[in-house]
Structures are given as structure tokens and as C-alpha cells.
Structure 1
Amino acid sequence: MGQRPVARIGPPPETHYDLPTDFAAMLGQCVASFGWLEEILKRAIFALDRARLADDLTPQELQVWLLRMGTIADDSMGTLIERLDSSIRRHPGLGDRDAITDQLHMVKRHRNHLCHASWRPTADKELWHPAFVNTRGEPFDHALSIGDLQAILRETVEIGQRVIGVMRATGIQGYWAGDDQA
């Protein structure tokens, strides 16, 4: 079995490039939106699962469920997407599961290359190339502008709001115990 070719992702790694301030600020906003989206996914999973629980759970049964829900704190975005997809599937009357899951996977791909890339300048001062190779050995093949980052940010916030809508359809607002103590 032959080896996969190693993808060339740009200039030698010895050189560190400082991003322009406006580009770095928008990149930071994108990264922050990914963290926000992960929190929304966790709250939605909690709400959808909570809405399905019987009203007469024993304290022990409730504790087991709470411990299981506590494990989502460490889940990766991919695992959270799969858990949300399963939770929506098990909750009758909630639609758009496939569209939501597909859009979440697109945002996850953006998250992976924006968060894990080494950034390289291009001949065009407005474009920066995220040097990133995914787990299938495929390099990210095009440079990004501030406008591209703004579009990714909008898409991330939009899908987060759709997930909030699904969560709130259960009648649960998505607040954690202790939110009112902040």
C-alpha cells in the first residue's frame, strides 16, 4: 500500500507572520463565535434530553442523567453535532434536522482550519492563506479575506440561532443552574 503524498502548505515553517490588526480582530471574532456555538450546542442537547425525561424520576435516576449530561462539557464539536442530531431525531415534531446538521458540519470545517492553521501572507495584501491539512491529507486550498471571515462569522451566528430556536421549541430556555448568579 503506497503512502499518501505529503501536501505542501506554503513557505518553510520557520517564519512567523504577524496578521494585520483588522484581519486578526475578525479572526478572533470567528474563533469566539465557535466557542459560543459549542456552548449553544451543549445547552440544546441538555434541553432536548431534559424535555424527554419522565416527571417521576427518582433522585438516583436524575443524578445518573445529570452525570451523563455532564460529560458533554468535554465533547468535541463533531461529537456535539452528532449528539444534537440524535437528540433532535428523538424529539418528535422538531424539523430541519438534516439542514441544521449539514450547516453545523460546514461551520465545524471552518472552525478546524481557522483555529488550527498557520497563517501565511499572499501576493494580495488583503488575503491570507490558512496553511492547514485536514485528517484526510487535504490542504486548505485558498486564501481568505476579512470579508470571508465576516461571512463565516455570520454563518456561525445564524446556525447558533437556529439551534437556539430548536432548543426553545422544547419550552426550555437553555439556562444552566447558576446563570442567575453571575
Structure 2
Amino acid sequence: MVREKKVYPLAHGITTQDTFAVLGDTLKFIKHKHAWKVWRVLKDFGCTVYPVADGVGRVEGSKVYANLAQLTGKVTVIVPCLLPEKLKTLVADASSAGCTKIWFQEQTWSKDLQQECESAGIEVIRGCVLRHKTYPGKVSLRYLSPCYWHGLRDEKVPIKRFGRY
């Protein structure tokens, strides 16, 4: 019996059905920093997610791609986990790879990147992936919770019980 994969909404039209590339660097993947955490959360939700960092061969058994060009046609959403000064070619690379959305994390967005995305026709989503959490078990609960950047007053989705809204 084949179980149907559940699709969960994440942010502004992004769902767990999208395919993701998480951009980081050696430190952010190997030392289990932000990029690794984002990659892990999306993976735990059952998303197809590719880690991208130059100079990292594998992370927890998954191949790490050196650049977005290696993922052309495979991803719909790019999640950068680097400061804007390290993202000079992000929009051009995303466009070349056929990506339609960039989900900027806290401190990765800038006005210049916003303008470049608008010019290239790439949708900009802002917000932290780490607000999403999954608790596996008999009853799989998934919800939004505030991460370090957001605090308790941040907008949350309604409580979900027994895997339903």
C-alpha cells in the first residue's frame, strides 16, 4: 500500500512539495550552524532539499553540491544562509538554475537583492525556516514555532492536532 505524501504549507505559497537548495558554506554545514539546521528541518518535513556549499563533499551521507549550476532544473526555492555580501551572484545563479523563488532568512535579505530579484522575475519570500518544526512519532505534529530571531509575539499558524489543521 502506497501512502500519499502529505503537503504542508510553509510560507507565502511555498509548500513541502517544492524542491529546495540551501546555500551555506563549510562552517554553516559542518559545524551544524544555520544552513545545516535549515537543511535538516526541510528534510525532516519530507522535502526534497539539496545542500549547496563549495568545498564540502557530504553532510550526513547527502551529497553537497558546489554551486547552483549543478542543480539546474531541480529546485524551485533557494534558501540562502549567508550574509548579503557573500551573495553577489545569487540572483543571476538562481535565474540560470531556473529557480522561481528565493526564501531569504533573517539577515540575508537586502534592498539590492530585492531589486535584483524583482528585475529577474524571482519571487522574494522573507522569514526564517527554523520557525518550522516537526515532532515524529505515532502522531506526527508539525507547527510553526518562534526561532531565535522572532520571539513569542511572532505570527503562528493554528494548532494542529493528529496531523490535521
Question: Do they fold alike, i.e. is TM over 0.5?
Answer: no
Return the structure number with greater strand share. Answer: 2
How high is the TM-score relative to the length of structure 1?
A: 0.25
How high is the TM-score relative to the length of structure 2?
A: 0.27
Larger Rg belongs to: 1
**1 or 2 for the larger relative contact order (CA 8 Å, sep ≥6)?**
1
